[in-house]
Amino acid sequence: MKVKDHIANAIKTKKTEFSFEILPPLKGQNIETIFSHIDPLMEFNPPFIDVTYHREEYIYKERPDGLLEKKIVRKRPGTVGICTAIQNKYQVDAVPHVLCGGFTKEDTENFLIDMDFLGIENVMALRGDAVKSETYFKPNKDGNAYAQDLVEQIMDLNQGKYLDEDLLNSAKTSFCVGVAGYPEKHLEAPSIESDLHFLKKKLDAGAEYVVTQMFFDNQKYFDFVARCRKAGITKPIIPGLKPLATKKQLNLIPQRFSVDMPDTLVKEVIKCKTTEAIRQVGIEWSIAQSKELIKAGVPVLHYYSMGKSDNIKKIAATVF
Ligand code: FAD
């Protein structure tokens, strides 16, 4: 089933659904690692589960002669395999994330064909970030530069339009596409208005729904939704929540995602003597956020699990 239909059902029944995002495990681990994160969350009946995509990284290895050798590695492969495993084992729709970064348009097309053949009907279309060792995002020479271009390519395939224009009577895919939105503005966007302008373009290109970047102050989400509606964005906007789990994240999250931490949360975390106490503060904060968002009638709450399910389980057990 398509995510847009799951959302429509939730709106119709006025019942907020629970969903979450997982990361593929580091290379070398097996699929059981993933199942052990998903199993405890299945009692909350997620209608769909997102699986992130991790592009290549450059690492430098010292050779015996002392020179450094540049190597290209993918530390967390397996997105499509995990999605198929999820659909087979749990009969739940899996949403693979697909990036512009690191892909030529040909790679993208082939990736989409694989997913279509595997019975995956949903994708989250993202630009991706710069390679870790680079300052700016650089698209592949023959790749998509922005998520909007990727959405357009997926929509072309949904119309049976492949890159090779000589293909005749080609099969149409029918992907439902989600895109990312930033309540506190994407870190590279020169202004809120410009970010909103390009978000609308992704939706006008055919994306069906938005999942937001994490936020810790619900007012940022409410204001964002109001701005989107004023700008003519009518599609559902699913809030993304991440429970804070370590003291380091107080600085890491604002730096990496350009997201503010409310002062009350910062003070609560600073008071904590142990990581366990911080995790508890994160859980309680996320529960309060969730309850307010449910009261506001959001169709789905989407949790960033970052590969750990214990805190998400505690939140879901209280909220759903
Ligand atoms: P875009 O929508 O392309 O926007 C990127 C920037 O360019 C924005 O500042 C935007 O305002 C601007 N812009 C957009 N279109 C244009 C245009 N035509 N001309 C000029 N400027 C433009 N990253 C991963 O690597 N893997 C994942 O699995 C992953 N999952 C994510 C899931 C969610 C819900 C979110 C919120 C983010 C995720 N990310 C993931 C991170 C994401 O890849 C980064 O935030 C990335 O920097 C931007 O991606 P985007 O799709 O929002 O880009």
CA of 148 to the centre of ligand 1 (A): 9
Instruction: Let me know: does 250 contact 244? Beta carbons within 8 Å.
Output: yes
- Report, as an integer, the average pLDDT of 83-89: 98
User: 72-81, 129-138, 271-280: which range is least confident on average?
Assistant: 129-138
- Mean pLDDT on 159-172: 93
Residue 307 has pLDDT above 90, yes or no: no
How far apart are the CA of 133 and the centre of ligand 1, in A? 18
Residue 4 predicted with pLDDT over 90: yes
Ordered by start, the domain boundaries in the chain are: 3-304
**3-state secondary structure at position 269:** helix
Give 191 Cα–ligand 1 centroid separation in angstroms: 15
The DSSP line for 298-314 is -SEEEEE-TT--HHHHH
Q: At 299, is the pLDDT very low, low, confident or very high (cuts 50, 70, 90)? A: very high
The domain made up of 3-304 has a fold known as TIM Barrel (3.20.20)
Segment 109-126 mean pLDDT: 98
- Cα–Cα nearest to 18, from 46, 48, 42: 46
- Residue having the nearest C-alpha atom to atom 21 of ligand 1: 198
Q: State residue 106's pLDDT score.
A: 98
Assigned token pair, 86: 């999820």
Choose the residue to mutate in 75, 83, 186 for probing ligand 1, maximizing ligand atoms within 8 Å of C-beta: 186
Average pLDDT, stretch 285-293? 98
Does the pLDDT value for residue 222 go beyond 90? yes
Q: Which two tokens stand for residue 198?
A: 């390009």
- pLDDT per residue over 262-277, tens digit each? 999 999 999 999 999 9
Q: Is the pLDDT confidence value at 79 over 90?
A: yes
pLDDT, residue 306, reads: 84
Decide if pLDDT at 5 tops 90: yes
Q: How confident is the model at residue 76 (pLDDT cuts 50, 70, 90)?
A: very high
DSSP string, 62-131: E-TTS-EEEEEE-SS--HHHHHHHHHHHH--EEEEEEESTT--HHHHHHHHHHHHHTT--EEEEE-----
Residue 107 is predicted with a pLDDT of: 97
* pTM score: 0.97
Average pLDDT, the chain: 96
DSSP for 139-152 reads --TTS-SSHHHHHH
Q: Quick one: average pLDDT of 92-97?
A: 98
**Ligand 1 nearest-atom number relative to CA 129:** 47
Q: Express each pLDDT in 31-59 by its tens digit.
A: 999 999 999 999 999 999 999 999 988 88
- pLDDT at residue 162 is higher than 90: yes
Check residue 151 and give its pLDDT: 98
* pLDDT reported for residue 235: 98
Q: What is the pLDDT of residue 92?
A: 98
